């Protein structure tokens, strides 16, 4: 991979830092009227999701990271890996481990499309679409006619995710969920 100088740092650039692939979030140029210039950089460690703050001498370089994001369809899990297939027509398949899938495991639905980040060809993270439709498998019986606001109850979805839903929701209903917050949006 190419090296990138601090002059080329911008939001979204992927670089290697302390052995981990990182995505640059912010790059602030700091320069006193007299004296040396520095770049104060915020990076997200793509392996851990943690945000790092580091300062570099202006002009210093970091190695680029071979990180690409692809749209992939979720196929199935064999218990150890979760299998995805590229939607770009190549039908290329990739197996993501538990660490890469992380919290997204509770939003995984067959035939749905996810953003899969590959580092050196292997998945390191899987991001769900912002909204996803899932079926209710378990919840207390719905109160007929109670469509007014006020009151909620827990419901379990096909993926195993637990969400708070209004009292009128029944087993078998399809619900639209915001995956960023885990909140119920509407019946689908």
Partner 1 sequence: MSLDKDLWCPSASIENLRLRAELLKQVRNFFDECGVLEVQTPVLGRAGSTDAYLNSMTSHCSGGGVSEPLDLYLQTSPEFHMKRLLAAGSGAIWQLAISFRNGEYSERHNPEFAMLEWYQPGYDLNDLMAEVQSLISEVLEVDNFSCQSYRSLFRAHLDVDPFSSELSELQALSHTKTGITADDLDRDGCCDLLMSACIEPLLGRDEITFVIDYPASQAALAKVKQDYEGDLVAARFECYYRGIELANGYHELTDAEEQAKRFAADNEQRRELGLPEVAADQHLVNALASGIPECAGVALGFDRLLMLKAGADRLSDVISFSIDRA
What number of residues does the chain have?
188
* Cβ neighbours for 145, distance < 8 A, ≥ 6 positions apart: 168
Write each residue from 66 to 105 as x if it is in contact with partner 1 (CB under 8 A), else as -, in one continuous string.
----------------------------------------
Is the separation of the CB atoms in 132 and 154 below 8 Å?
no
Is the separation of the CB atoms in 13 and 23 below 8 Å?
yes
Q: In the chain, which residue ranges form alpha helices assigned H by DSSP? A: 98-101
Minimal distance, residue 110 CB to partner 1, in Å = 39
Is the separation of the CB atoms in 90 and 72 below 8 Å?
no
Write each residue from 36 to 65 as x if it is in contact with partner 1 (CB under 8 A), else as -, in one continuous string.
xxx-x-----------xxxxxxx-------
Residue choice 34, 78, 111, 150 for contact with partner 1 (CB under 8 A):
34
Minimal distance, residue 53 CB to partner 1, in Å = 6
12 binds partner 1 (CB under 8 A): no
Phi, psi at 157, each rounded to 5°: -100, 170
122 binds partner 1 (CB under 8 A): no
Closer to partner 1 by CB, 10 or 164: give it.
Answer: 10
Residue choice 2, 12, 19, 33 for contact with partner 1 (CB under 8 A):
33
Q: In 96-183, which residue ranges form alpha helices assigned H by DSSP? A: 98-101
* Positions that interact with partner 1 (CB under 8 A): 7, 28-38, 40, 52-58
């Amino acid at each position: 991979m190419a090296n990138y100088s601090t002059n080329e740092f911008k939001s979204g650039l992927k670089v290697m830092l302390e052995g981990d692939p990182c995505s640059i979030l912010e790059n602030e140029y700091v320069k006193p009227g007299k004296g040396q210039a520095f770049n104060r950089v915020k990076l997200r460690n793509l392996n851990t999701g943690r945000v790092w703050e580091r300062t570099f001498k202006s002009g210093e370089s970091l190695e680029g990271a071979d990180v690409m994001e692809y749209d992939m369809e979720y196929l199935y899990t064999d218990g150890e890996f979760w299998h995805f297939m590229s939607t770009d027509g190549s039908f290329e398949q990739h197996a993501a481990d538990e660490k890469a899938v992380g919290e997204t495991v509770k939003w995984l639905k067959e035939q749905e499309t996810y953003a899969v980040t590959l580092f050196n060809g292997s998945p390191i993270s899987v991001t769900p679409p912002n909204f996803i439709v899932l079926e209710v498998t378990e919840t207390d019986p719905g109160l007929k006619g109670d469509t007014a606001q006020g009151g909620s109850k827990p419901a379990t979805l096909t993926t195993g995710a637990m969400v708070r839903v209004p009292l009128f929701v029944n087993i078998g209903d399809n619900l639209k969920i915001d995956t960023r917050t885990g909140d119920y949006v509407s019946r689908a």
